[in-house]
Amino acid sequence: MVQRQFPKPRDLAPLMQFKKFDFNATRRRLSAALTIEDLRTIAKRRTPKAAFDYTDGAAEGEFSIHRAREGFEDVQFNPSILRDVSAVDTSVSIFGGPSAQPFGIAPTGFTRLMQTEGETAGAGAAGAAGIPFTLSTLGTTSIEDVKAANPQGRNWFQLYVMKQREVSYGLVERAADSGFDTLFFTVDTPVAGARLRDRRNGFSIPPQLSLSTVINAIPRPWWWYDFLTTPPLEFASLSSTGGTVGELLDAAMDPSISFEDLKIIRELFPGRIVVKGVQNVEDSRTLADLGVDGVVLSNHGGRQLDRAPVPFHLLPEVAREVGDDLEVTMDTGIMNGADIVAALAMGAKFTFVGRAYLYGLMAGGRAGADRAIEILSDQIERTMKLLEVSTVEELEPKHVTQLQRLAPRTQVRPEAARAAPGA
Ligand SMILES: Cc1cc2nc3c(=O)[nH]c(=O)nc-3n(C[C@H](O)[C@H](O)[C@H](O)COP(=O)(O)O)c2cc1C
């Protein structure tokens, strides 16, 4: 028989202590976001469809990005037991310097389109968190302004070798002059991937006002207020070249780039050279033999070749083949700090996040970028503790089993087919 009593006001009082209401709506919104997916939901609500889709979308059927994320979902973690993990150290050394976390911000073009603070927010947030920030050739904040936003931290520059070579070489020199210590040479864009969402949305830069754009803007007044009252959206480091945006984009992708270009860049840039967009073991070997400092295994977040290899799956073999000769890093599909831990265990020295940070940026500018980094960092620390490792170096392949949904189809041997007619 349950004994019952009348609740006394004294007992009720502690239950009535409501959380203080935060009058800052951005802070309220961001602190309610517990995952990168939550930030994505907020981002979608606050950003005009064409800008959100440009960020969120990928090429063709979007299989590459879907499979990359699925690759991380299909991780089984194998924890150890009874180790002291009261303190974990998530810091790493990468490309000749430190990073407080095993991830950095990937280069993204048109970042001020997503939210007006753009790269300034990204670089500032990266600097505050002690992680590197990578500025894209197609960035909407100049090399010098990124340096000003992150004066003490590590800034890296991503290069598209353009048809007008002297424009690219000029950027390499400016990045070096501004103290950028690492250069990414992106090699997976001989031509632009077919981003069908952009075509369907009639996406253009700067955004054009059509009837549907105006209707879509009604619930998103702040984005438009920011857009219309801040400096025009342009490729900040390229503006001196003139030409329309379309011409600049076309010029940024040159199908004739080759290993010769890599040699020239090496001579021009005094810091570390990293090739971004590597997708197999053989190319990794060639690059190691040529003496590059690192590779980013990446399919460009699924925005270029669709049905490309999953970079996370390439890791073990590439790390085994060239891990002693250069630093193997990866991106594409990272939505959770646990994804980063899994990549490190499978042989990555470092990882990069593109959309995970951009969802934060769209959800709340600088504060949103900070929140994205905080969410990922918390997830990394918690996953490491639950795996019972206290440093990144302790992570090993034994900590992860890569489960596979889409296994390569087994070749049917002709004699087996003959032995089983009608099978
Ligand atoms: C909106 C957007 C713009 C991008 N622009 C560039 C770019 O200018 N140069 C580049 O090398 N990679 C670019 N990328 C690819 C990223 O550097 C990175 O490889 C990719 O975002 C990683 O996948 P994730 O978004 O799943 O993290 C872009 C990615 C996105 C989402």
What is the per-residue pLDDT across 8-55, written as a single tens digit (0 to 9) for each? 888 887 777 777 888 999 999 999 999 999 999 999 999 999 999 999
Q: For 150-253, where are the alpha helices, taking DSSP H only?
A: 165-177, 196-201, 211-217, 221-229, 245-252
Is the Cβ–Cβ distance between 305 and 277 less than 8 Å? no
Which residue has the CA at smallest separation from atom 1 of ligand 1? Answer: 55
> Which of 13-22, 231-240, 332-341, 378-387 shows the lowest per-residue confidence on average (mean pLDDT)?
231-240
Q: Is residue 2 part of a domain?
A: no
Assess whether pLDDT exceeds 60 at residue 244.
no
Beta bridge partners of 93: 98
pLDDT at 247: 60
pLDDT in tens, 92-136: 999 999 999 999 999 999 999 999 999 999 999 999 999 999 999
Q: What pLDDT does 422 receive?
A: 45
Locate the ligand 1 atom nearest the alpha carbon of residue 107 and give its number: 17
Q: Say how far apart CA 304 and CA 195 lie, in whole Å.
A: 8
- 133 bridge partner residues: 105, 155
Residue 205 lies in a domain: yes
Q: Tell me the C-alpha distance between 203 and 208, whole Å.
A: 8
Q: How many angstroms does the Cα of residue 373 sit away from the middle of ligand 1?
A: 17
Nearest to 171 by CA among 86, 237, 253: 237
Identify whether 156 is part of a domain.
Answer: yes
Q: Does ligand 1 have an atom closer than 6 angstroms to the CB of 139? A: no
Q: Is position 410 annotated in a ligand binding site? A: no
- 336 Cβ inside 6 Å of ligand 1: no
Does ligand 1 lie within 6 Å of residue 300's CB atom?
yes
Which whole number is the average pLDDT over 330-352? 98
Residue 147, annotated as binding a ligand: no
Confidence of residue 421 (pLDDT cuts 50, 70, 90): very low
Domain count, the chain: 1
CB half-sphere exposure, 132, CA atoms < 13 A: 30
Query: 8 CA distance to ligand 1 centroid (A)?
Result: 59
| Arithmetic mean of pLDDT, 309-316 | 97
Domain that holds residue 357: 25-396
Whole-model pTM: value is 0.92
pLDDT of residue 423: 43
Higher pLDDT, 235 or 136: 136
CATH number for 42: 3.20.20.70
DSSP tag of 69 = H
Ramachandran sector of residue 307 (left: φ over 0; alpha: ψ -120 to 50; beta: rest): left
Measured by CA distance, the residue closest to atom 10 of ligand 1 is: 107
Q: What are the tokens at 328?
A: 């193997």
The answer to whether residue 372 scores a pLDDT higher than 90 is yes
- pLDDT reported for residue 419: 57
Per-residue confidence (pLDDT) for residue 180, from 0 to 100: 98
Output the CA angle 270-301-214, nearest 5 degrees. 110
Q: Choose one of 303, 334, 336, 351 to mutate for the ligand 1 pocket test, by most ligand atoms within 8 angstroms of C-beta.
A: 303
Q: Looking at residue 15, what is its pLDDT?
A: 78
Q: Is residue 16 part of a domain?
A: no
Q: What is the rounded radius of gyration, in angstroms, for the C-alpha atoms of the chain? A: 24
CA-nearest residue for atom 21, ligand 1, is: 354
Q: Is the pLDDT of residue 236 over 90?
A: no
Q: For residue 351, tell me if it sits in a domain.
A: yes
108 annotated to a ligand binding site? yes
Coil, strand or helix at 353? strand
State the average pLDDT for the chain: 91
Looking at residue 139, what is its pLDDT? Answer: 94
Give the pLDDT band of residue 62 (cuts 50, 70, 90): very high
If one compares 50 and 382, the residue with the highest pLDDT of the two is 382
Average pLDDT over residues 404-419: 66
Is 321 part of any domain? Answer: yes
Report the alpha-carbon distance of residue 275 to residue 258 in Å, rounded.
12
Closest residue by CA, ligand 1 atom 28: 108
Is residue 403 situated within a structural domain? no
Residue 397: its H or E element: none
Residue 208: what are its φ and ψ, rounded to 5°? -95, 145
pLDDT band of residue 246 (cuts 50, 70, 90) is low
Nearest to 140 by CA among 54, 209, 19: 54
pLDDT in tens, 156-195: 999 999 888 999 999 999 999 999 999 999 999 999 899 9
136 is in an annotated binding site: yes
The pLDDT, as a whole number, for residue 217 is 76
pLDDT tens, position by position, 278-307: 999 999 999 999 999 999 999 999 999 999
In tens, the pLDDT along 198-215 reads 988 888 766 676 777 778
Overall average pLDDT of the 352-357 stretch: 98
pLDDT, residue 36, reads 98
Q: Is residue 195 part of a domain?
A: yes
More confident residue, 64 or 211: 64
